[in-house]
Amino acid sequence: MRYVGKSYPIHDACQKASGRAVYAGDMELKGMLHAAVLFSSIPHGFVKKLDCSRALEYPGVVDVVHCFNTTEREYNRYQSQFNQALIYTERVFNSHVRFVGDRIGAVIAETEEAAREAVRLIQVEYEELPYSLDVFETLKGTIDNVHPSGAVFECTDMVTGTMPEEEDLVTVDTVTDLSRINHICMETHVCVADYDQYSGELTIYSPNQTVYGIRTLIGDIFQMDYSKVRVIKTTMGGSFGGKQEWVLEPVAAAAAIRVKRPVKLVYNRSESMISTYGRSPMHFQSSFTFGRDGSLKGVDCDLLLDAGAYLGNSINYARTVGHKLFRGYKYPYCHFHSRAVITNTIVSGAFRGWTSPEATIMFEHNMNMGARALNMDPVDIRLKNVMHPGDADPLGNIPIGNFRADEALRQGREHFFWDRRKEEIREFNKKNRRYKRGLGVALGAHVNGFYPSKTDYARVDMRLTETGSVQMNITLHDHGCGTVTAMQMIAAEALGIPMEQVSLGEGDTKYTPLDVGCFSSRTTYVQGQTVCLCAEKFKDRLKEDVSALSGLPVSELVVENNLVYGKYHPEVCYTWSRIADECQQKLKHEVFVSYEYVPDTNPGVAGAHFAMVEVDTFTGMTKILDYLAVHDIGQAINREMCVAQTQGAVIMGAGAALLEHVVTKVSGRPMGSLKDYHLINCFEAQDVRVELIEDGGTEGPYGAKSIGEVCHTPVTAAVVGAVNDALKSDMNQIPLTPDVICAYLDEQEKKEREKEA
Amino acid sequence: MESLLPKTYEEIPGCLRQMTEKSRFIGGGTDLIIKMRMGLAAPDAICYLGYVRELKEIRREEEWLSIGSCATMTEIEQDPEVREHYPALMDAAADVGSLQIRNNGTIGGNIGNASPAGDLLPVLYLYDAVLEIMGPDGVRRAGIDEILAGPGRLNLACNEAILRILLPPSTGYTSFVKLGSRKKVTISRIGVALRIEMDGDYVKEMKMMVGAIGIKPVRLEKAEEFIKGRTLNEQNILDIAAILSDYIREHVAKEFDRDYKVFASRGVVMDAFHRLRRD
């Protein structure tokens, strides 16, 4: 292949490196104003009175929008489809405030500084209500009236298969607690909205994962015809799931409609951390039953998901955890029960992997504890239970296709020197009192698109220019990880022309095709395949046109290297440029095709990750000494980007394992600063080795499968497993910060002292 | 807001006369600018002394090492005199924030900010630093402990500026180790500064200052007494760590991560002793 599988810089790498890329936060529109939001300072209550008079007097202030002068139509920030069945309780501005950080109003001013200063001048009078900061408090009934629909939502109670009636089974019971984490995109949340009162058209510029989703939600909130809402996807500085639910867009739209001018809204880091959304805290109680040979017989899992103050995606999220229990391992029985619980805390929402990492953290811990109980090697117990090509996801009986988890585990074991290191570590730990080393392995699996649980389809259009290049029209949402370039590579490969002769852009609801958005790792698998198939159709079209122009039958024409020529009459040779020209002049049409694709497969995709850590048992600090990620990817499109995405995912997942959590103080006030929220920084970021298993065999482009989410799926579980191996512990309260580890060790030391005494 | 920008030593008193209770000095601005942006500080005037050449200098003055209050962490870390004679100060300066912060942040700012977690403070106590202070009417000198009053507070009038930090000659071996929430770019949770003078294999004298466990650096006299005349074997060092743990258990409130600090003292104390060897 000429392009696929090689490595190219992302399409806007030069613009980004030179500072020429325009993010929404860089935009300047004629007459543009700036908004700053007034947030609730209490965790739960009613806004009784707002006094905006001093804010309105502040120099540069144009207007104030708030809960008493803006539409009270309720919506759900997770909505992205027409008539989507969801619980709608959130408003653009809320008079019933439900967390510290809830939106009450926004000042619109000539400058951001003036808007922010004026926000401080608004006097808010509250009536405070009891609040709950964790799911157990809510279950006591403390905030039953937080929403008309209640505070506790049953999500799913499903039984799959039957529990084998055997004797001599081993059961492990564990508790898993996941803390609230934030996406921490380099680009904070931004939206620019512009309302033209004469045309009645609202234009929204935002970095997001579905332009059509925003169009739908905004159209519904403001009761606008969808054709009057135009959404343009802007250059994005990272999303990780953080820009697929709509938080700033309704606010900027409300402001722009009110003042009939463009309005820019930029959240700072603190606002992005507190007032958008994060990954939900989860509390799992689970029980796994194994045969003596390590075969997994049954899974029983109960999940309490902390939805935060508004439901958003939480009911769907809690259900989806159950769907993710069947993507990697085969076992006869599962009972999964989940509830989503409202608390007066930061709203929960999507995070990279959409419950795959969360389910995996719980699942893989149980596999480790099972291996320990059975005195088995952690890799062996996984190999014993892993799914193989030919197996199917029991939910909907969907074949998992050419799923290479087994191979990934075996290859990783060898290349990570698993068996040798196990011995070395045993010796190291025997000799060392302070530093303890451990090994962890985790298998993560994921999907390739929405099929069959939700509608999935894609459309691509291709047009030929008179200079022989191809303009592609497709609704892409590049997060900064190279989607545009990947599609360009696929198109160039399929068309047989140089990459620079393929041009394409990103989503714009006014011009690009309807699309369900960048979700569920569908972009490469579904949209990429659409590009491939469209290119084939485009080449057929070239042949038809040359046939009409030359009189040769289509069957005798060959498309190759920017040329179409007769197989038996090589003197009949058309450049693509000439085809475009003669089609216009003689046949009176543009060379154009449009192709719609509906996927009917959704193979599994797997990653086996291996971590070696060293824990300082005196300070609780954990260092990752080595890390290997082996991925079953089918076919890498842009190779170095696949590797880099995986390396980034490891830093992200390792941060969740060891450091990251948003702390909420007892007052209900969350800590919204990177001073308190620690990521793994470049000093501690470990080298990550990445290996790709590429044996194609999928319905994706050139046999490709997804990478962006699956590479994040096993990370936290692998690192946690390694820490537990080092300390012979059974902790699964994420993150394992130095404090958590020291508290555990302190407890162990006390127990030992008591034993001695 | 007014900016007071003396260009020479002689211009400083004139600027100081214009300062009020609401005025602030600015060094690298690594704390003050953040506070101003968050609306936590709104000074009527800021005074920047960094244009005064003498206040940027690190130089030997007879037996003293004189460090201008506007010297940055990077300049201190890289200074040959500091590295040779005051290595614990090098340790502390090298571990402040990130490189970008160290390129801006100043020693005067670290003192003026008076954070209980201030990285340089335990080391300045360790070396018995003396501050040279200028008011509108003249210059005076005072020990670091006389000036440091508590979190964010100094015993200085609003129109008094720290000009220089003077370090007397140091003897013995010194080191500083900080324990944060991660390895780098982290705020100190415990900072241990040590000075040891040996008599053969035995400790003649030790000084031990601990930062971030109280409103000001704490001198751990009980540990100093304990180790006198003993060797630096592992058990003795663990016993010193236990003395620190006990101190924290008694004196630190639970919400200031007491339980963690009690447990983790062992690690940071051992690291500080290890670092004395400079190997």
Q: Which pLDDT score is estimated for B38? A: 83
Q: Please state which CATH number belongs to domain B173-276.
A: 3.30.390.50
Of B186, B270, B182, whose CA–CA distance to A737 is shortest?
B182
Q: Is there a common fold for A352-447+602-752 and A458-597? A: yes
H-helix or E-strand containing A115?
Answer: helix A112-119
CA A193 to chain CA centroid, nearest Å: 24
Q: Which pLDDT score is estimated for A25? A: 98
Residue of A nearest to B184 (CA): A683
- Say which DSSP state A181 is in: B
- What is the CB neighbour count within 10 angstroms for residue B242? 16
User: Which residues lie below 8 Å from residue A267, measured CB to CB, with a gap of 6+?
Assistant: A37, A188, A189, A190, A248, A275, A276
- Please say if the pLDDT value at position A496 is more than 90: yes
Classify A27-129+186-238+243-275 by CATH class: alpha beta
Of A70, A15, A13, A14, whose CA–CA distance to A38 is shortest?
A70
What is the average pLDDT across B45-66?
A: 96
Give pLDDT tens digits for A646-698. Answer: 999 999 999 999 999 999 999 999 999 998 999 999 888 989 999 999 999 99
Chain B neighbors of A623, CB-CB under 8 A: 183
Alpha helices in A441-568 (DSSP H): 483-495, 528-550
- Under DSSP, is residue A101 helix (H, G, I), strand (E, B) or coil? coil
Give pLDDT tens digits for A80-89. Answer: 999 999 999 9
- The beta-carbon neighbor of B264 closest among A619, A680, A684 is A619
How is chain B split into domains, by residue range? Answer: 2-167, 173-276
- Say which DSSP state A396 is in: T
Contact (Cβ atoms closer than 8 angstroms) between residue A423 and residue A396: no
Which of A119, A268, A651, A739 to mutate to test binding with chain B, by most B CBs within 10 Å of its CB? A739
A458-597 CATH fold: Aldehyde Oxidoreductase; domain 4 (3.30.365)
Residue A417 pLDDT class (50, 70, 90 cuts) = very high
Angle at A362 between CA A361 and CA A363, to 5 degrees: 95
Rounded CA separation B101/A545 (Å) = 64
- The beta-carbon neighbor of B260 closest among A623, A683, A742 is A742
DSSP A314-375: HHHHHHHHHHGGGSSB--SEEEEEEEEEE-SSSPB---TTTTHHHHHHHHHHHHHHHHHHHT
CA B191 to chain CA centroid, nearest Å: 10
Chain B residues contacting A, CB < 8 Å? 39, 179, 181-187, 257, 259-260, 263-264, 266-268, 270
Amino acid found at A338? S
Chain A neighbors of B267, CB-CB under 8 A: 434, 616, 618-619, 621
- Please say if the pLDDT value at position B279 is more than 80: no
Give pLDDT tens digits for A255-302. Answer: 999 999 999 999 999 999 999 999 999 999 999 999 999 999 999 999
- B263/A120 CB distance under 8 A: no
- A618/B266 CB distance under 8 A: yes
Residue A626 contacts B, CB cutoff 8 Å = no
Phi, psi (rounded to 5 degrees) for A410: -70, -45
Q: Say what percent of chain A tops pLDDT 90.
A: 98
The ipTM, to two decimals, is 0.94
Query: How many residues in total does chain A contain?
Result: 757
How is chain A split into domains, by residue range? Answer: 27-129+186-238+243-275, 352-447+602-752, 458-597
Angle at A626 between CA A625 and CA A630, to 5 degrees: 160
Phi, psi (rounded to 5 degrees) for A595: -135, 135
Residue A122 contacts B, CB cutoff 8 Å = no
CA A728 to chain CA centroid, nearest Å: 33
Q: Which pLDDT score is estimated for A600? A: 96
CA distances from B60 to A555, B63, B142 (A): 91, 7, 19
- Under DSSP, is residue A538 helix (H, G, I), strand (E, B) or coil? helix
Of B205, B168, B193, B211, whose CA–CA distance to B275 is shortest?
B193
Q: Which pLDDT score is estimated for A487? A: 98
DSSP chain B: -EEE---SGGGHHHHHHT--TT-EEESS-TTHHHHHHTTS---SEEEE-TTSGGGG-EEEETTEEEEETT-BHHHHHH-HHHHHH-HHHHHHHHTSS-HHHHHH-BHHHHHHHT-TT-SSHHHHHHTT-EEEEEETTEEEEEEHHHHEEETTEES--TT-EEEEEEE----SEEEEEEE-SSSSS---SEEEEEEEEEETTEEEEEEEEEESSSSS-EE-HHHHHHHTTS---HHHHHHHHHHHHHHHHHHS-GGGTHHHHHHHHHHHHHHHHHHHT--
Average pLDDT of chain A? 97
Rounded CA separation A14/B182 (Å) = 34
- B259/A742 CB distance under 8 A: yes
- Please say if the pLDDT value at position A396 is more than 90: no
Residue of B nearest to A683 (CA): B184
* pLDDT-wise least confident of A503-517, A673-687, B65-79, B122-136: A673-687
What is the average pLDDT across A113-122?
A: 96
Strands (E), A129-178: 152-161, 170-178
Amino acid found at A389? P
Rounded CA separation A416/A439 (Å) = 10
Give pLDDT tens digits for A300-356. Answer: 999 999 999 999 999 999 999 999 999 999 999 999 999 999 999 999 999 999 999
- Under DSSP, is residue A227 helix (H, G, I), strand (E, B) or coil? helix
Rounded CA separation B149/B142 (Å) = 13
Rounded CA separation A464/A584 (Å) = 11
DSSP bridge pairs for B180: none
- A739/B266 CB distance under 8 A: no
Classify B2-167 by CATH class: alpha beta
- Please say if the pLDDT value at position A221 is more than 90: yes
- Under DSSP, is residue A18 helix (H, G, I), strand (E, B) or coil? helix
Rounded CA separation B73/A192 (Å) = 41
CA distances from A252 to A107, A116, A261, A267, A681 (A): 11, 15, 11, 11, 33
Residue A745 pLDDT class (50, 70, 90 cuts) = very high
Burial A218-227 (b: 16+ CB within 10 A, else e): bbbbbebeee
Contact (Cβ atoms closer than 8 angstroms) between residue A554 and residue A547: yes
Q: Which pLDDT score is estimated for A704? A: 98
More confident site: B197 or B137: B197
The pTM assigned to this predicted structure is 0.96
Exposed/middle/buried for A162, CB within 10 Å: 0-12, 13-18, 19+?
exposed
- B270/A739 CB distance under 8 A: no
DSSP A518-533: S-TT-IIIIIHHHHHH
Of A629, A586, A628, whose CA–CA distance to A607 is shortest?
A629
H-helix or E-strand containing A578?
Answer: helix A576-582
- How is domain A352-447+602-752 classified at the architecture level of CATH? 2-Layer Sandwich (3.30)
Rounded CA separation A47/B112 (Å) = 41
- Please say if the pLDDT value at position A757 is more than 90: no
Residue B136 pLDDT class (50, 70, 90 cuts) = confident
What is the average pLDDT across B242-270?
A: 96
Chain B neighbors of A684, CB-CB under 8 A: 182-184
- Please say if the pLDDT value at position A569 is more than 90: yes
Residue A616 contacts B, CB cutoff 8 Å = yes
Q: Which pLDDT score is estimated for A94? A: 98
Contact (Cβ atoms closer than 8 angstroms) between residue A558 and residue A572: no
Chain B neighbors of A738, CB-CB under 8 A: 181, 260, 264
Rounded to 10°, the helix A715-727/A639-658 angle is 50
